[in-house]
Structure 1
Amino acid sequence: MRDSLDSAALDAALEDVRRAGVPGLFAEVRGGEHVWSGAAGTADVTTGRPVDAGMRHRVGSITKTFTAAAVLQQVESGRIRLDAPVGRYLPELVPGERGAAITVRMLLNHTSGLAEYLPYAYPSLKAFPVLTDTGPQSLDDLRFERFDPVDLIRMGVAAPAAGAPGGTPGLYSNTNYLLLVQLLEQVTGTTAAQYITRNVIERAGLRDTALPTGPHVDGPHSRLYEAWFGMIDPPRDYSVYDMSWVGPSASLISTVSDLNRFYGALLAGKIVDRSSLAQMRRTVQVVSQEGRTIDYGLGLHPMEGPGQDVFWGHGGTVWGGGALAMTRADGKRQMAVAVNTQRWNRLDPSGRPQPHPIDSALAELYRVAMHG
């Protein structure tokens, strides 16, 4: 049976990730009418409190799919044009020739050429993503810093360009999505958080998903242990953190069940219409923050499996945590996984992350979850 779930194999794969070095992780897999959920390890290494599959979790850049869907809704309404220059809407933020050359589509698929603002907001990450000379000190210094999104955008716009507008491969940059947040607020007359909540989160019927208003995660959740490539040893808890450093581009809190529900609704045409969904699945090549070249659409990226299987979704990381959610194109097989540590790889002398047993264990979990 193509969509049957092997619970024993999923349990074993989850446990193998824990044994490889993740303090705790949890997941939900859906195959047709069948649902499996599981958890392994601890939510708090001090008390030994176990993780649970229903826990709420910071899901990082998975938020970008929600933001992109909100923008596409406004394209459908006629308030935004995908191939219009961003300077038409936000001339003060992206002025002059650059504003005339960069389109809304380029922001959505990371081909704008705008740099990532992160190393400018976090001074000790100045060499990001070349990490040999970086350190984690800014993570502590800025834990409760309240960033102004316009200031962050200006950092990214003022930084040396990562490429020409529309050029490929593009460069994955949070600057793009903070600009989309500003665009969304301008055309809707409300905050992006309010619009996304009403028109994306609630439309998908999500019960445990929200954009945070403060540094805490409400409800049952795990602590989040950041290793920063072995420079924080033992890894430090950053579950309490002001997420204004990414805002509605990467700050969402959700559950693995809600993530599967969201991507199922999106790919079924219940959040945006079919023509918008087709636009979201038009991909270009983009260099990720890890330095890999990936195919990327409008807030979505594909993962190919055996045969003709193509899964669509997004991954995300925050300080100390990560998540990945993928749904098969026909909607009949889904996976969402959350882990409570991040940047576990040590670096080689050139600054490249070295392989770690967690990487191969997670890859095997994804294979079992998506393909059986």
Structure 2
Amino acid sequence: DGFALGLQAAGQFSGTVLIASGDEVVFEKAYGARDEQQETPLQVSDRFNLASAGKMFTSVAILQQIAAGRLSLDSKVGEVLKDYPNRQFANEVSVRQLLTHSAGAGDIDELFGAEHSADRARLHSLQDMVALHAGRAPEFAPGSAQKYGNFGYLVLGRMLEVLSGQDFESYIRQHVLQPAGMQDTGFVACDDPAADLARAYVDVDGKRVRNCATQPRRGLPAGGEVGSARDMFRFVQALNAGKLLPAALFEQATQTQREFMGLGFFATGYGKDVPARDFRWGHGGSTDGVCTDVRHYPATGETVIVLSNKDAPACFAVSGLLHAQWKQP
């Protein structure tokens, strides 16, 4: 608590912190302001931009397609997106590689930055966003390396739309958020006036402005949905209870596949001389004015969630210290 208060006093952190042991929340507190220009205090129930922590929703949705037999980890992009323009990408990139950031998919710069606001205004659908870079070849031979990026998750989201016959948002609401009981999580416009939204700011041309000027308007398969700390804990609980995925598939997804990634989850510990008790799965994220970290430690049953409307890396420092302080014997 004192560490987070110190970061808050230094202007580096505002947000909500939740720690759970098993299914019991043992610590929950809000720090700082919901809106730095109004100094409205944050509440523990407030909703935040989840940044790349939202990639876990996309991963679960794709794994659900695998569980249903519509897809496999080794399915290639072109088997689903049959008219994908770059044939090397279509024929060589697999679902497994997209989930683990080892496809060479690259990023999509047009989604971020004030200088790309006109580009974002022209992108009305997920299909539009994928089409923007669907003509480019992989940055490296698929499977030969690993490089974190966002474009691969947009491709996964578009594959989900084709496989399910639903638009991405509808599928996530119906098959991920609702079964997990996540009533406070969803796809909300950055400039939505709802009173419980934590507002983030960024410096543009020497002025502090809402980060809506530098972000996609609402959540995408690469992240940016809006949710509360309690809802993210419900997500962790639903995964552990088998409400979203078969147990064996979920266990596979949260084991390290290569480097830091499972199948769409950060998976830290295996093969790295880390004690089993410190293995964790989850996902963090950061973007302009936003920092999020969701961690679950299976061996101890601990969950640590930090959602912040301040830039990284403060939220990661908070979550790391909290685990060290609260870890069970």
Range class of TM-score, shorter chain: 0.7 to 0.9
Match of 2:33 in 1: 42
Q: Which amino acid is 2:126 matched to?
A: P
Partner SS for 1:171: coil
Cα distance 1:114–1:246, how it changes in 2: closer, same or farther (>3 A)?
Answer: farther
Between the aligned partners of 1:341 and 1:234, the Cα distance in structure 2 is 16
Cα distance 1:72–1:140, how it changes in 2: closer, same or farther (>3 A)?
Answer: closer
Between the aligned partners of 2:218 and 2:136, the Cα distance in structure 1 is 17
1:283 aligns with 2:256: yes
Q: Would the aligned equivalents of 1:313 and 1:326 in 2 still touch at CA under 8 Å?
A: yes
Match of 1:220 in 2: 196
Q: Would the aligned equivalents of 1:222 and 1:340 in 2 still touch at CA under 8 Å?
A: yes
Q: How does 1:342-353 map to 2 (within 5 A)?
A: 342=311
How far 1:221 moved relative to its partner? 1.7
1:274 aligns with 2:247: yes
How far 1:151 moved relative to its partner? 3.5
Match of 1:247 in 2: 220
Q: Would the aligned equivalents of 1:24 and 1:339 in 2 still touch at CA under 8 Å?
A: yes
Between the aligned partners of 1:326 and 1:364, the Cα distance in structure 2 is 12
1:321 aligns with 2:290: yes
Q: Which amino acid is 1:185 matched to?
A: E
Q: Would the aligned equivalents of 1:87 and 1:94 in 2 still touch at CA under 8 Å?
A: no
Aligned with residue 139 of structure 2, among 162, 167, 190: 162
Cα distance 1:58–1:369, how it changes in 2: closer, same or farther (>3 A)?
Answer: farther
Partner SS for 1:248: coil
Q: Would the aligned equivalents of 2:13 and 2:315 in 1 still touch at CA under 8 Å?
A: no
Match of 1:20 in 2: 10
Structure 2 spans left out of the alignment, 5+ residues = none
1:172 aligns with 2:148: yes
Partner SS for 1:342: coil
Match of 1:198 in 2: 174
Cα offsets for 1:46-69 (capped at 9, x unmatched):
222111111011101111111111
Between the aligned partners of 2:172 and 2:252, the Cα distance in structure 1 is 19
How far 1:295 moved relative to its partner? 0.8
Scaled by the length of structure 1, the TM-score of the pair is: 0.77
Q: How does 1:144-163 map to 2 (within 5 A)?
A: 146-159=123-136, 161-163=138-140
Partner SS for 1:43: strand
Aligned with residue 183 of structure 1, among 159, 162, 175: 159
Partner SS for 1:338: strand
Cα distance 1:180–1:24, how it changes in 2: closer, same or farther (>3 A)?
Answer: same
Partner SS for 2:41: coil
How far 1:235 moved relative to its partner? 3.9
Q: Which amino acid is 1:89 matched to?
A: V
Match of 2:96 in 1: 105
How far 1:317 moved relative to its partner? 2.4
Out of 12-21 and 141-150, give the one that drifted further: 141-150
Q: How does 1:1-150 map to 2 (within 5 A)?
A: 11-22=1-12, 24-32=14-22, 33-93=24-84, 95-118=86-109, 121=110, 137-138=114-115, 146-150=123-127
Partner SS for 2:235: helix
Cα distance 1:272–1:85, how it changes in 2: closer, same or farther (>3 A)?
Answer: same
Scaled by the length of structure 2, the TM-score of the pair is: 0.86
Q: Would the aligned equivalents of 2:256 and 2:268 in 1 still touch at CA under 8 Å?
A: no
Partner SS for 2:303: strand
Q: Which amino acid is 2:262 matched to?
A: G
Cα distance 1:45–1:319, how it changes in 2: closer, same or farther (>3 A)?
Answer: same
Match of 2:264 in 1: 299
Between the aligned partners of 1:164 and 1:281, the Cα distance in structure 2 is 25
